[in-house]
Amino acid sequence: MVDKKKISLNVNGVTYDREIEPRTLLSDFIRHHLDLTGTHVGCEHGICGSCTILMDGLPVRSCLTFALQAEGKAIETVESLDTNGELSPLQNAFWENQGLQCGFCTPGILMSMKAFLKHNPKPNRDEIREALSGNLCRCTGYHDIVDSVVAAAEAAISSGTAKA
């Protein structure tokens, strides 16, 4: 039996102190220890992208990260996007353009696209498709997802904020 370790992790601006087994994946820590169930888990092998979160602003697979490795980093999950229940422009674009059906893949896509649009605020459709290639969706055929990302980029530009 391996001893539990104390961990202090900053998630969405809040510091959480817990005791965990070292093998706890960051995805499981977020879901089971913090009850932040917006981060979804599909494959646990890095392929589907549904568990994507931001670590120090960069999108990474939370299923291929141990929670202990994330100590000292700023973690952002899908729960960080809205402001008191008001959807962010990126979330709103997905809502308006039917960018989801069942919604399983959506949290990972939103976190990937948040980072992508920051890095490339005026992407064309090909660049968006390429950027979406690390997130699998079983429902939508991607067309509406691409439309949503286009709309999010346009909304950010017309409102004069590069913030997605």
Partner 1 sequence: MKPANFEYFRATSLDHACELLRAHGDDAKILAGGQSLIAAMNYRLARPQFLIDISNIDSPSEITDESDGVRIKATTTQAIAEHDPVVRRRLPVLANALEHIAHFQIRNKGTVGGSIVNADPASELPAMSLLLDAEFEIQSASDKQVMAAEDFFITYMTTALQSDEVLISILFKAPPENSGWGLHEVARRAGDFALVGSAAIIALDDGGKCSFARVVLFGVASTPVRATEVEDALLGQSCSDALFAEAAKKVSEVVDAESDVHVTDEYRGNVAEVLTVRALADALSRAQAAS
Ligand X SMILES: Cc1cc2nc3c(=O)[nH]c(=O)nc-3n(C[C@H](O)[C@H](O)[C@H](O)COP(=O)(O)OP(=O)(O)OC[C@H]3O[C@@H](n4cnc5c(N)ncnc54)[C@H](O)[C@@H]3O)c2cc1C
Residues facing residue 54 across a β-bridge:
59, 76
Task: Report d(CA 144, CA 164) in Å as an integer.
Answer: 18
59 binds partner 1, rule: CB under 8 A: yes
- If the CB atoms of residues 98 and 130 are measured against partner 1, the closer one turns out to be 130
Could you tell which of ligand X, partner 1, ligand FES, none binds residue 77, using a CB distance below 5 to 8 A set by kind? Answer: none
Q: Does 121 bind partner 1 (CB under 8 A)?
A: no
Give the distance between the most distant pair of CA atoms in the chain.
57
By the rule CB under 8 A, 76 interacts with partner 1 = no
Q: Does the footprint of partner 1 cover residue 149 (CB under 8 A)?
A: no
Q: Does 101 engage in binding with ligand FES (CB under 6 A)?
A: yes
What number of residues does the chain have? 164
**Which of the choices ligand FES, partner 1, ligand X, none does residue 25 contact, using the CB cut-off of 5 to 8 A by kind?**
partner 1
Helix, strand, or coil here: 66? strand
Binding mask 42-71 for ligand FES (x = CB under 6 A): xxx-xxxxxx---------x-x--------
d(CA 19, CA 28): 13
Residue 134 CB, shortest distance to ligand X, in Å, is 8
- Three-state SS at 118: helix
Q: Does 61 bind partner 1 (CB under 8 A)?
A: yes
Residue type, 163: K
Residue with Cβ nearer ligand X (136 or 150): 136
Judged by the rule CB under 8 A, the positions of this chain that interact with partner 1 are 1-2, 5, 21-25, 28, 44-46, 49, 52, 55, 58-61, 63-66, 68-69, 71-72, 112, 116, 130-131, 133-134
